[in-house]
């Protein structure tokens, strides 16, 4: 059994109690948000304090709606613990990918003190300089890779001004259209959505197929879907059979 199959088996289903009551509550929240947005749109610049209060109320209502919607969607809860799994060579078994960047990169950086060394993580397009034009990983995800600070491949530069050693992997393939539709459908519920994949090799940039799609709510993962990656050639053939292929993020 591979690592991703183990994650799916370990994912815990959420038991939703009083489902109908919660659905009605979700409807009430939607109506309160709609009404609040209407009030906000009518406020004039002089009504700054009222605008701030209504804006805060809308944020609070949206947060309640988001958590209730996640519960009612009955996603399975995915533990962060699999991100700490390591291969025999000590490198991570699993990689996390942002939908906005091709690569995941890890590197050690030395601070001003000799004992101040940390493992950094980013999502980027250019793994040779992953600190440029990149997206940072949430602290909860980054800490799952913090033990790599002592890995021989991840050795820190001798001086703070020296180049950092970067270990990276990249996503290859095409996400099926049906999975993109699911991502679009549920994206609003989460802080962000990621792919979890098992790399064949670090630095060679070729992950194994069948990644998982997970939503990040600020503290944990929720399983949205699992899929077989489509090769670019297969995707082109599929696109020739439809008038307009849906685009991620549209």
pLDDT, tens only, 188-209: 999 999 999 998 888 733 445 5
- CA pair distance 211, 41, nearest whole angstrom: 42
Contacts of 235 (CB under 8 A, 6+ apart): 174
Same domain assignment for residues 245 and 190: yes
Q: Which residue has the higher pLDDT, 15 or 54?
A: 54
CA distances for 18 relative to 23, 68, 71, angstroms: 9, 12, 11
> Does position 39 have pLDDT exceeding 80, yes or no?
yes
Same domain assignment for residues 7 and 28: no
Same domain assignment for residues 216 and 113: yes
**Domain-terminating residue out of 73, 90, 119:** 73
Residue reference for tokens 């820190």: 156
Same domain assignment for residues 90 and 29: no
Same domain assignment for residues 65 and 112: no
Same domain assignment for residues 110 and 190: yes
Binned at pLDDT 50, 70 and 90, residue 115 comes out as low
Binned at pLDDT 50, 70 and 90, residue 132 comes out as confident
pLDDT of residue 114: 61
Same domain assignment for residues 180 and 248: yes
CA distances for 85 relative to 69, 121, 123, 145, angstroms: 31, 16, 20, 9
Same domain assignment for residues 23 and 132: no
Q: Once rounded to an integer, what is the mean pLDDT over residues 137-146?
A: 93
Same domain assignment for residues 69 and 145: no
Q: Once rounded to an integer, what is the mean pLDDT over residues 220-231?
A: 82
CA distances for 203 relative to 124, 165, 175, 196, angstroms: 13, 11, 22, 17
**Domain-terminating residue out of 73, 88, 118:** 73
Number of domains in the chain: 2
Euclidean distance between the first and final Cα of the chain, in Å? 36
Binned at pLDDT 50, 70 and 90, residue 244 comes out as very low
Give the domain range for residue 248: 1-13+77-250
pTM of the predicted model as reported, rounded to 2 decimal places: 0.80
Same domain assignment for residues 85 and 182: yes
| Both tokens assigned to 85 | 């799994």
CA distances for 225 relative to 13, 76, 91, 183, 186, angstroms: 14, 10, 26, 9, 11
Annotate 203-217 with b (16+ C-beta within 10 A) or e (fewer): eebebbeebbbbbbb
Same domain assignment for residues 69 and 121: no
- Average pLDDT for the chain: 84
Same domain assignment for residues 246 and 165: yes
pLDDT per residue as tens digits for the range 153-194: 666 555 555 556 788 998 887 888 999 999 999 999 999 999
**Domain-terminating residue out of 51, 73, 95:** 73
């Amino acid at each position: 059994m591979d690592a991703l199959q183990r994650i799916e088996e370990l994912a815990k289903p959420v038991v939703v109690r009083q489902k109908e009551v919660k659905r009605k509550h979700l409807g009430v929240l939607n109506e309160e948000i709609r009404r609040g947005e209407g009030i906000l749109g009518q406020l004039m610049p002089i009504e700054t304090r009222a605008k701030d209060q209504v804006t805060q109320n809308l944020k609070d209502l949206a947060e309640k709606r988001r958590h209730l919607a996640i519960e009612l969607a009955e996603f399975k809860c995915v533990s962060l613990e699999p991100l700490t799994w390591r291969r025999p060579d000590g490198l991570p078994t699993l990689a996390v990918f942002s939908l906005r960047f091709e690569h995941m990169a890890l590197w050690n950086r030395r601070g001003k003190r000799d004992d101040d060394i940390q493992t950094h993580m980013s999502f980027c397009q250019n793994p040779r300089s992953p600190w440029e034009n990149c997206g940072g990983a949430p602290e909860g995800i980054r800490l799952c890779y913090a033990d790599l600070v002592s890995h021989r491949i991840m050795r820190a530069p001798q001086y703070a001004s020296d180049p950092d050693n970067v270990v990276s992997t990249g996503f290859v393939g095409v996400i099926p259209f049906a999975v993109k539709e699911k991502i679009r459908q549920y994206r609003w519920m989460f802080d962000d959505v990621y792919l979890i994949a098992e790399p064949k090799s670090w630095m060679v940039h070729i992950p194994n197929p069948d990644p998982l799609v997970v939503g990040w709510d600020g503290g944990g993962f929720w399983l949205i879907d699992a899929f077989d990656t489509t090769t670019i050639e297969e995707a082109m053939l599929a696109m020739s059979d439809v008038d307009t292929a849906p685009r991620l993020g549209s």
